[in-house]
């Protein structure tokens, strides 16, 4: 039985940088041996059945460099792990009202306490933010583009971070559930 996985790429097809055509990327993943590869929109959201390929992250990175000329930071999560991050969202009610205003920043490790404190201080009056070991949840009612906190989170050099709004995150999970087990 294959495990369903979610792969989130950081910083592809954003502002003309790191152009990654999804049909070609899906084809490359199939050529590497992944099954049931599907992508959601153009920003590097992939779901697939993991059939136990060793060193998959390194294989994908080499394949991307060879084929597309770059290899962004990759976040691999089991479907269960991805859904656990979504379920822990303290702003899920706000996300149901407007998922574009709630963002989940996936992390490759937890922020240090002093970083949490300095980043939290950047939140606007109408924003709410929650830090966990694996994600930062941000409710930005005035929009993510106006959020100093979101800008700093996305640009941090302390940890690798990639963000998805709640609508996209839910759509990725739904897409993963279409993969046969």
**88-133 pLDDT tens trace:** 999 999 999 999 999 999 999 999 999 999 999 999 999 999 999 9
Q: Write out pLDDT tens, residues 13-31.
A: 666 677 898 999 999 999 9
pLDDT at 157 (0 to 100)? 85
Q: What is the pTM of this model?
A: 0.94
Quickly list DSSP for 33-66.
T-EEEEEETTTTEEEEEE---TTHHHHHHHHHHH
Q: Is residue 54 very low, low, confident or very high in pLDDT (cuts 50, 70, 90)? A: very high
- Left if phi > 0, otherwise alpha if psi is -120 to 50, otherwise beta: which for 92? alpha
């Amino acid at each position: 039985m294959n495990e369903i996985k979610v792969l989130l790429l950081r910083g592809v097809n954003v502002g003309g940088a790191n152009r990654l055509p999804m049909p070609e990327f899906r084809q490359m993943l199939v050529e590497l041996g992944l099954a049931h590869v599907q992508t959601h929109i153009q920003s590097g959201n992939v779901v697939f059945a993991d059939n136990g390929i060793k060193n998959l992250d390194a294989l994908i990175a080499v394949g991307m460099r060879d084929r597309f000329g770059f290899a962004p930071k990759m976040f691999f999560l089991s479907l269960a792990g991805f859904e656990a991050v979504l379920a822990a969202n303290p702003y899920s009610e706000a996300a149901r009202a407007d998922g574009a205003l709630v963002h989940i920043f996936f992390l490759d490790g937890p922020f240090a306490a002093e970083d949490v404190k300095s980043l939290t201080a950047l939140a606007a009056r109408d924003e709410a933010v929650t830090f966990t070991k694996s994600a930062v949840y941000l409710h930005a009612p005035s929009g993510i583009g106006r959020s100093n906190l979101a800008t700093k989170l996305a640009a941090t050099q302390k940890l690798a971070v990639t963000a998805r709004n709640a609508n996209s995150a839910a759509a990725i999970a739904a897409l993963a559930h279409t993969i046969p087990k």
